[in-house]
Structures are given as structure tokens and as C-alpha cells.
Amino acid sequence: MTKAYLMLADGTVFEGTAFGAEKENAGELVFKTNVVGYLETLEDPANAGKIILQTFPLIGNYGVIPEDISGNCTPAGYVVREICDAPSNFRCEGTLDAYLKEQGIPGIAGVDTRALTRILREKGSMQAKIVYEVTDHAAE
């Protein structure tokens, strides 16, 4: 498992595990509180170019169902507490990890999403970057 880091514009760094596409990407970090509908969140044009933080602790549990995908997946990144590696749904045809790889979207799992959400609630949305090495200028 590859380590990844989420670096916020205020200098805060969260360590986690990479999934999805293996690339660094930056965008406005925003949080979403939905319990289901992670594919719809990824397809929402309002989330284009943003790094999405899911507050629900387990994402990907029903996998990817191609018939339910109706739009383009355009966020800059995806942040979760835990990603499900073995989805359980009779219609599932793949994992969220594989889908994000196919779409070219990096993700980071194992992040304390509650602490991160508190930061965003107190300071507002901010720029962030998913990186694989921490440097002084990684969040720029």
C-alpha cells in the first residue's frame, strides 16, 4: 500500500493510503455528508475540479454499477475514512478503487475525516492537494 498525504493550504497534513489513480492533484476541498450515493456525488457537475471528502466512514460498499452511471466523473480527488475492497451487491461489476483508476482520479483513505470536517467547518473550504511526498510547497 502506497502512502499518500492530504496537504491543506493552511499547512495541515493528513496521512493515509493511496487508492484510485496514482497521481497528485489539487483542488478546493469540500465535504459531503451523504450516507449513500457516492457515485452520484462523483458525477455531480458541481463537484468538478474539487477534492471531495466523504464524512460517512465506509465508502464503496455496494461497488460500481455501470447501469447507474449517467454522467462524467470529474472531481480532482476523493478522501475517505475507509474504502471497501470487497463490495456486496448483486449488480456490482467493480470496485470504487478500480473505477477511480479508470477515471484518472486519485484518492486517499485512512484519513481522520471527522477532524478534517471540523477544520473545514471552522475555517471554510480551502485548497488542498493529494501528494505522495510531503514538501514545503506541496499544497500550492
What is the residue whose three cell numbers read 463537484? Answer: 47
Q: State the virtual CA torsion across 14, 19, 21, 23 in degrees, nearest 10.
A: 30
Output the average pLDDT for the chain.
94
Structural contact between residues 41 and 134, judged by C-beta atoms closer than 8 angstroms: no
What is the helix, strand, coil percentage profile of the chain, to 5? 20, 30, 45
Among the ranges given (35-39, 58-62, 115-119, 129-133), the one the predictor scored with the smallest mean pLDDT: 35-39
Among the ranges given (34-38, 112-116, 120-124, 125-129), the one the predictor scored with the smallest mean pLDDT: 34-38
pLDDT band at residue 140 using 50, 70 and 90 as cut-offs? low
pLDDT band at residue 137 using 50, 70 and 90 as cut-offs? low
pLDDT average, residue stretch 101-111: 97
- Which residues, at least 6 apart from 124, have a Cβ–Cβ distance to it below 8 Å? none
pLDDT digits (tens, 9 = 90+) for 44-80: 999 999 999 999 999 999 999 999 888 899 999 999 9
Domain boundaries, the chain: 3-131
The fold for domain 3-131 equals Glucose Oxidase; domain 1 (3.50.30)
- Looking at residue 48, its pLDDT comes to 96
Q: What is the percentage of the chain residues whose pLDDT exceeds 70?
A: 96
pLDDT average, residue stretch 127-134: 96
